[in-house]
Amino acid sequence: MTEDTPKTVRKRQARGEKRIAELLDAAAEVFAEEGFKGATTNAIAARAGASPGTLYQFFKNKEAIAEALMARYVEHLRRAHGEAFDLSVARLPLDRMLDRIVDPLIAFDRANPGFYALLSDPHLSPELAGAKKPAQKLMFERVDAMLEARAPGLQPEERRLTAEVAVHLFRGLLPMIMAADEAELPRVSDETKRALRGYLAPRIGVEPAVE
Amino acid sequence: MTEDTPKTVRKRQARGEKRIAELLDAAAEVFAEEGFKGATTNAIAARAGASPGTLYQFFKNKEAIAEALMARYVEHLRRAHGEAFDLSVARLPLDRMLDRIVDPLIAFDRANPGFYALLSDPHLSPELAGAKKPAQKLMFERVDAMLEARAPGLQPEERRLTAEVAVHLFRGLLPMIMAADEAELPRVSDETKRALRGYLAPRIGVEPAVE
DNA sequence: ACTGAATACGAGTAAATGCTCGTATTAAAA
DNA sequence: TTTTAATACGAGCATTTACTCGTATTCAGT
């Protein structure tokens, strides 16, 4: 209600939104280095080249920072991998399908260590846990849809479990993926696909279902 | 030097060691609930029914508590799964081998949530990271030795990587394993073995090597 | 040039936390 | 019984942290 769209007060936010982006960038780094609990609002502000007061002008509290950061990540994820999870890849042989899905995921996670830090932190407040749910849900639903397109005969319940396990398997290897340097990455990436293939092949087959 | 072995000063430690055990039990619970950063020394002392001063009589600081706790866990692990990793199981068919190894590991992790909390916490100080290394090393070496007994032909380098990935795969499923209630556990346990089998079978075969 | 709202600051506050210290209690040794 | 070292206490100190507030600066619209 009273949702005005004033002609004025538009360029105003330009500065502010840039500051917000800077603060989120800083928060991503600090969260990645220190974890959520270990991160300090003052440290985040300092890294963004801002003062604590500025930070609290845009974010109600520390949790709000993490929530906004997660929201931004989800947005990125949705865009960056809308095509990675295009259902057309479900018709590729399993090996190629995994190439098409896993490579972008690895690239995204390595490019966004803050995302990994927040997502893998098991000790978040209920609100924060709620904030990271959309990201998990997004991933899970994409995998589930992929499995359905790939193996229509699979029971929904079994498919659900398979998708969840597959996501966890990938996440289990994330520490290795994140720690690997550029030279080791191909091997780690390869092992990731091997593991997923080994788990998935008995359930969805190596070749796509005929239609 | 002057390392005396006094006849006296022996029963003295009885009280103390009991207190230490109580404090470590309390620390395990608090770490499991709050993580390392979130845990409070006062909370640990309170849960142990002791005062902060008492805690600091036995532990130099918060890190020392976590280190001692990890050391105790490693000790437990070593004992509890010395037999789980007995190399004779390397001669079993892969399915049975995984049963023999995975079930005790799941039981241990579920019985010791504090262990999982510390081990999976990615944001520990260097000292703490060093303290959890022995646990990781223990697990890794056991898996590596098992692989060697099982598939002597495997290249050491490939074996090393396989062991590391297998450990990470298991750890990736730990969140599901820990979250599952008693009724869901069999399915989760089953999926864990499926995943490991799928990954390992191409490398070490379904049947043990003949000698 | 002027205005006023959005933006930015950073010292300051209250609360929490890791840790210390002086003292009291226990119990084994003499 | 006396001694004495180990054990236990808990108030309190020093530091850190999340967050506030009064003020200063920027800048679009006039």
What contacts 24+ positions apart, CB below 8 Å, involve A179-183?
none
Q: Note the pLDDT of residue B12.
A: 54
Distance CA B124, CA B122 (A): 6
Distance CA B26, CA B19 (A): 10
Residue A100 near chain B (CB below 8 Å): no
What contacts 24+ positions apart, CB below 8 Å, involve A78-85?
A78/A138, A80/A104, A80/A108, A81/A105, A81/A108, A81/A142, A85/A142, A85/A143, A85/A145, A85/A146
Residue A210: pLDDT band (50, 70, 90) is low
Distance CA B150, CA A30 (A): 44
Contact call for residues B110 and B173 (beta carbons, < 8 A): no
Q: Is pLDDT at A117 greater than 50 in this prediction?
A: yes
Q: Note the pLDDT of residue B11.
A: 53
Q: Note the pLDDT of residue A62.
A: 94
The 3-state DSSP class for residue B180 equals coil
Q: Is pLDDT at A1 greater than 60 in this prediction?
A: no
* pTM confidence score: 0.89
Question: Are the beta carbons of A164 and B170 separated by less than 8 Å?
Answer: no
Q: Note the pLDDT of residue A150.
A: 93
Distance CA A74, CA A147 (A): 21
Q: Is the CB of A88 under 7 A from strand C?
A: no
Q: Is pLDDT at A78 greater than 80 in this prediction?
A: yes
Q: Which of A168, A173, A201 sits opposite B198 (nearest CB)?
A: A201
Would you state the structure tokens that stand for residue A102, as one six-digit string? 């896993």
- Check residues A174 and A121 and name the one with the higher pLDDT: A174
Give tens-digit pLDDT for B153-176.
999 999 999 999 999 999 999 999
Give mean pLDDT, residues A77-92: 86
Q: Residue A102: name the closest of A25, A200, A203, A211 by CA.
A: A200
Distance CA A196, CA A94 (A): 10
Q: Note the pLDDT of residue A79.
A: 87
The 3-state DSSP class for residue B53 equals helix
**DSSP structural state of residue B210:** P
Q: Note the pLDDT of residue B126.
A: 79
Would you state the structure tokens that stand for residue A177, as one six-digit string? 């993926």
Would you state the structure tokens that stand for residue A7, as one six-digit string? 């002609």
**Strand D interface, protein residues by Cβ within 7 Å:** A 7-8, 10-12, 15, 39-43, 52-53, 56, 61-62; B 9, 12-13, 15-19, 49-54, 56-57
The single residue listed with the structure tokens 């007995």 is: B86
Query: Can you say whether the dihedral through the CA atoms of B138, B143, B144, B150 is positive or negative?
Result: positive
Distance CA B206, CA A202 (A): 14
- Spell out, as residue ranges, where chain B has pLDDT lower than 50: 1-10
Distance CA A19, CA A53 (A): 12
Straight-line distance from CA B16 to C1' C27, in Å? 13
Bases of chain D within 7 A of a CB of the protein: 5-12, 16-22, 27-30
Roughly how many angstroms between the first and final C-alpha of chain A, as a whole number? 50
